[in-house]
Amino acid sequence: MGSGKCCVKKPLWHIFFKTFSFITLLLIFNTSINFAYANSITRSSKYSALVMDSSSGEIIYAKNAHELRYPASLTKMMTLYLTFEALASGKLTMNQKIVVSHKAALQTPLKLGVKAGEKISVRDCIYAAIILSANDAVVVLAEAIAGGEWSFAKMMTEKAKRLGMIKTNFANSHGLHDNNQYTTAADMAKLALALKKNFPQYYPLFSKTSFTYKGKVIKGHNHVTKKYEGAEGLKTGYIRTSGYNLVTTAKKTYGHLVGVVFGGPTAKARDDHMMNILDLGFCHISQKNGHYNPKCKNTPSIGTVSKGSPSNKDIFSVVEEQKPIRVASLDTKKFTSVKSKSSPVQNKKNIRPASSTKKSDSVSNINLKNKKHLKQNHSKKAVV
C-alpha cells in the first residue's frame, strides 16, 4: 500500500512564480557580470576607447583617446593599408605568389604555418592577416613590399604621419611587443577611416570571418563582426602588455560609426564593451536625427567626453594623404613627453610621442634606430 501521499499537482501560479523568479535572477546575474566587465575595462590603466560618427567626425564617446597604447595586432591594419596601396599601384597582384623567407616561417604564433621556401599568394596572406591574424603572413607581405621588415616598419610610420596619425610609431608588421611601437585610440580611428575611404575595393575583406587554405577552412576570432548587426569588421589584437584591443566599423540605416577599444581584461569583456558603446553611439545618432531606434528605449545618454579627450568637433577633414585627419584638441598645441604612470606605455623612458610640428613628421625623427627592438622583447604570447 502507498503511504497515502499522492503527487499533488502544484497550481499554475506557483510554477509561473518560480519560473519568473529564476529568469529574473538570471537577468540580474547577467547584468551584474556585464557591469563588472565594464568597470574592469574602464578602470584599467590600459583602457582607452573612442566612438565616432564617421560622417560628421563627431566624437560621441572618448576616454584616454590620446594616451599611448601598444597596438598589438591592430598593427596589421597598417600592414594591410600598405598592401592595398601596393595592389592599387600594380606592385602586387592578388594571385601573385611570394616565396616565404626563413624569418617569416619562424614567426611566433598565431600563424598560418607556412614553411621557408614555399610560395603563398598575396590573397591568402591578406586573408590570413585579417581572419587568423597570422604573423608569418604579414612578414611575407612586408618583405615583398619593402624588401625587409625594418624598411617596411619605416614605411608604416611614414604613412601614419601622412594620414595624420601623429602619435603613432611602428616597429614591425605584426604587432608583437616592441617598446617603440605605440599608438592611440584616436589614431587607430583615423586609420580605420583611411582604409574605408581610400580602398573601397578591398575594405569589404575585413568582414570575412573564415577562409580556405590548402583545403582547410580557417575560422576567425572577431566575434563582434559575427555577432553585431551592421558590423563591417576590422581587427582584433592582444599581447600581455596591451590587453585585448579592437577596432570596429559598423553601419545602420541611421548612421555609421568607428569604435576603438584598448585594454580589455578578456576578449569577451572587450567585445561586450565594444557592442555596448556602439549601441549607445547609434542611439545618440538616431535620437539626434529624429530616427526611431527600438534599442534606445531607456538607454542612458553616452554624451560625456572625458577631459583630455577629443572635443566634439571634427576629428578629420578628408582622409587623404594631402589632407590629413585633424583632431581639434591636437591642432593648437605640441605634444610633450607623457609623464603619467597610468599607462604601461607611458612608463617606458625611451618612448616620446611625436610632436605635431612638421619637423617631427619625418621618419628620421622617430626612435626606430635600435634594430634590436624589432625582436619580440617582452611577450612571446600570440598576437590576435
Q: Active-site positions?
A: 73, 76, 133
| CA-derived radius of gyration, the chain | 23
Q: From CA 28, how far away is CA 30, in angstroms rounded?
A: 5
Q: From CA 166, how far away is CA 144, in angstroms rounded?
A: 26
Asked if residues 311 and 329 have their Cβ atoms less than 8 Å apart, the reply is yes
Q: From CA 384, how far away is CA 221, in angstroms rounded?
A: 8
Helix and strand element counts for the chain (H, E): 10, 9
End-to-end CA distance of the chain: 67
Helix (H, G, I), strand (E, B) or coil at 101: coil
Among 291, 139, 312, 128, residue whose Cα is nearest residue 210: 128
Triad 168, 228, 247: Cα angle to 5°: 5
Asked if residues 116 and 93 have their Cβ atoms less than 8 Å apart, the reply is no
Q: From CA 34, how far away is CA 272, in angstroms rounded?
A: 8
What's CA 99's distance to the chain center, in Å?
Answer: 29
Q: From CA 328, how far away is CA 313, in angstroms rounded?
A: 6
Asked if residues 85 and 321 have their Cβ atoms less than 8 Å apart, the reply is no
Q: From CA 49, how far away is CA 207, in angstroms rounded?
A: 21
Triad 208, 163, 275: Cα angle to 5°: 40
Among 70, 72, 73, residue whose Cα is nearest residue 347: 70
